Amino acid sequence: MTNQQNDFTEWYIDTIQKADLMDYTPVRGCIAFKPDGYEIWEHIQDEMNRRFKETGHRNAYFPMLIPESFFQKEKDHIEGFSPELPWVTEVAGEKLEERLALRPTSETMIGHLYADWINSYRDLPVLINQWANVFRWEKKTLPFIRTSEFLWQEGHTAHVDEDEARAETMQMLTIYKEVVEELLAIPVYDGQKTPSERFAGAVDTFSIEAMMKDGKAVQAGTSHYLGTKFAEAFDIKYLTKENKHQFVHTTSWGTSTRLIGSVIMVHGDEQGLVLPPRVAPTQVVLIPVGPWKKNPAIMENLDKLFAELKAKGIRVRLDDSDRSPGYKFNEWEQKGVPVRVELGPRDLENSQALIKARDWDEKVAVDLPSSVDTIVDELQTMQTRLLEKARIFRDKHSHTHVDSLEQLTQHIATSTENGDIPGWILAGWCGDDACEEHVKEVTKFTTRNIPFNPPTTKSTCINCGKESKHTVWFARAY
Ligand SMILES: [Zn+2]
């Protein structure tokens, strides 16, 4: 394993390969999700679907190919996405009359259809989500975090007015925050994106931002209020109760398989992957130790424990392969399995088992007859503990003492000298794009979001020193 502190990217790649989460393919930037990687995504999907449906949304599916003319209808949208679009230009040797893009997102196709589906106020709201793959051809890729094809969900809703659409935008951002914190044990800052970081075609973009262990930020989810921009571009009108034609107000919101990369980068340690129990494909692994083959009572007890855990809905594996216990410990540790249980002849004599949580240094002896409850409890405790650990780490590296570009440069230099990471800084911003751009040029720190609940507020712009309009998180980002 590469040392996490020395080369975080190499550590990350080692970690996902040792954990067998993905594989590279001959298509640059496109990865294969192996079962353990894909199952993390399935647990995210299950929880998201539960919350989406609870709030009245339903899933649907739209085509992957989008006619070029659709993109021309919303100017900001085509400008934002055109550099990353792959095109289908011919079929069976014959050139197509109109090029088709592999979707980077589905606002245009859905806008086209909603124009047909929505006629009266009785048809509203439309609350639809799609689980799909999308394409954004990337020059620099990193598995799960930035790939040319990725999996995501995109919600697309249409409403009678701005108030309702804005309430939807915030509702979905809150759902994202709760899922990422509660399921993935990743604390996030929620807030509004600055205009330069807005989604192409949105009126307002909101995001949740997470800090990785190298101090860089990942935008973990976004929710957009699109106003009537797409409704005007695609002529999505409805008849009001007063018999007037009006444009609908739309929203869109998305999270992607980047979340898998974030889990790895937030919780992983020098031994590799650490998974929060709620998303771990295997939550508990049972391993017989010592001369267990000569002692049938060991496997009998492990089989019983296996059945009891399974009955409680725990995702449990029993590793009775002929490899050495040391090999197995290492392998399951690298797979990030939250809890390991060992049982050998001496343990059995003492009516105990040894358990080790993935993030503990030592194993502890637990009473064998009540071990099922102890294990179930520990899975819950570990879930909470990982969130708390991540929160402590994030808070420690969220700095509020930087008020000028000079101080930021100094802060970065001092952190590097001390072998520490610069983390994030909370600073004032006057609202001028040029100030934002200059900070980025000099330090590679970009605006993450304008947090709803900043730990403190700042009165002057970090770049020009004039009065600030906003207090903003700045960080280097993936
Ligand atoms: Zn300024």
230-263 per-residue burial string, b: 16 or more CB within 10 A, e: under 16:
bbebbebbbeeeeeeebbbbbbbbbbbbbbbbbb
- Work out the pLDDT band at 1, boundaries 50, 70, 90: confident
Where do we find the tokens 């989810």? 221
pLDDT of the residue at 144:
98
Q: What is the pLDDT of residues 125-155, one digit of tens each?
A: 999 999 999 999 988 999 999 999 999 999 9
User: Which of the residue ranges 21-25, 78-82, 388-392, 412-416 would you say has the lowest mean pLDDT?
Assistant: 78-82
State in Å: Cα 416 to ligand 1 middle: 26
Cα-to-centroid distance, 426 and ligand 1 (Å): 14
* Model pLDDT, residue 2: 85
On average, the pLDDT of the chain sits at 96
pLDDT, one tens digit per residue, over 383-405 is 999 999 999 999 999 999 999 99
CATH 3.40.50.800 fits 282-378, yes or no: yes
Stretch 347-369: mean pLDDT, rounded?
96
The 3-state DSSP class for residue 43 equals helix
**Model confidence at 320: pLDDT above 90:** yes
**pLDDT(78) > 90:** no
CA dihedral 303, 304, 306, 312 (to 10 degrees): 160
CA of 430 to the centre of ligand 1 (A): 4
Q: What is the pLDDT of residues 417-438, one digit of tens each?
A: 999 999 999 999 999 999 999 9
Cis check for the bond before 345: say yes or no (omega within 30 of 0): no
| Mean pLDDT across 275-302 | 96
Q: What percent of the chain has pLDDT over 90?
A: 95
Q: Residue 261 pLDDT > 90, yes or no? A: yes
Residue 77, pLDDT score? 79
Could you tell me the distance, in angstroms and rounded to a whole number, from the CA of residue 112 to the centre of ligand 1? 40
The pLDDT assigned to 235 comes to: 97
Residue 309 CA to residue 346 CA, distance in Å, equals 23
Mean pLDDT of 454-477: 97
- Per DSSP, the three-state class of 341 is strand
CATH code of the domain made up of 398-475: 3.30.110.30
Please give the residue that has the higher pLDDT: either 75 or 364: 364
**Owner of token pair 């899922």:** 179
pLDDT digits (tens, 9 = 90+) for 204-256: 999 999 999 999 999 999 999 999 999 999 999 999 999 999 999 999 999 99
pLDDT of residue 71: 87
DSSP E strands in 68-106: the ranges are 87-91, 94-102
The torsion angles phi and psi of 233, rounded to 5 degrees, stand at: -65, -35
Q: What is the pLDDT of residue 5?
A: 87
pLDDT at 447 over 90: yes
Tokens for 396, please give them: 């420690």
CA of 207 to the centre of ligand 1 (A): 22
Of 255, 243, 323, the residue nearest 289 (C-alpha)? 323
> Does the structure show a pLDDT above 90 at 97?
yes
Give me the residue spans of the domains in the chain. Answer: 8-267, 282-378, 398-475
> 445 CA to middle of ligand 1, Å?
15
Structure tokens at 11: 């550590």
pLDDT at 58 over 90: yes
- Report how far ligand 1's centroid is from the alpha carbon of 355 (Å): 55
- Distance in angstroms (rounded) separating the CA atoms of residues 47 and 35: 18
CA angle 391, 188, 441 (to 5 degrees): 105
| pLDDT for position 79 | 84
At 106, the pLDDT band (50, 70, 90 cuts) reads very high
Q: How far is the CA of 217 from the centre of ligand 1 (A)?
A: 22
The CA 400 to ligand 1 mean position distance, Å, reads: 18
* pLDDT the model gives residue 423: 98
Top CATH class, 8-267 = alpha beta
Confidence of residue 21 (pLDDT cuts 50, 70, 90): very high
pLDDT of residue 80: 84
Res 75: pLDDT: 79
Residue 373 C-alpha to ligand 1 middle, in angstroms?
Answer: 57
Q: What is the pLDDT of residue 171?
A: 98
Dist. CA 469 → ligand 1 center (Å): 9
pLDDT over 90 (residue 76): no
d(CA 95, CA 30): 26
CA–centroid distance, 175 to ligand 1, in Å, is 33
CA of 81 to the centre of ligand 1 (A): 28
- How long, in residues, is the chain? 478
Q: pLDDT band at 81, cuts 50/70/90?
A: confident
Average confidence (pLDDT) over 164-180: 98
Largest separation between any pair of C-alpha atoms in the chain? 84
pLDDT category at 72 given cuts 50, 70, 90 is confident
Predicted pLDDT at 330:
96
Give distance in angstroms: CA of 215 to centre of ligand 1. Answer: 25
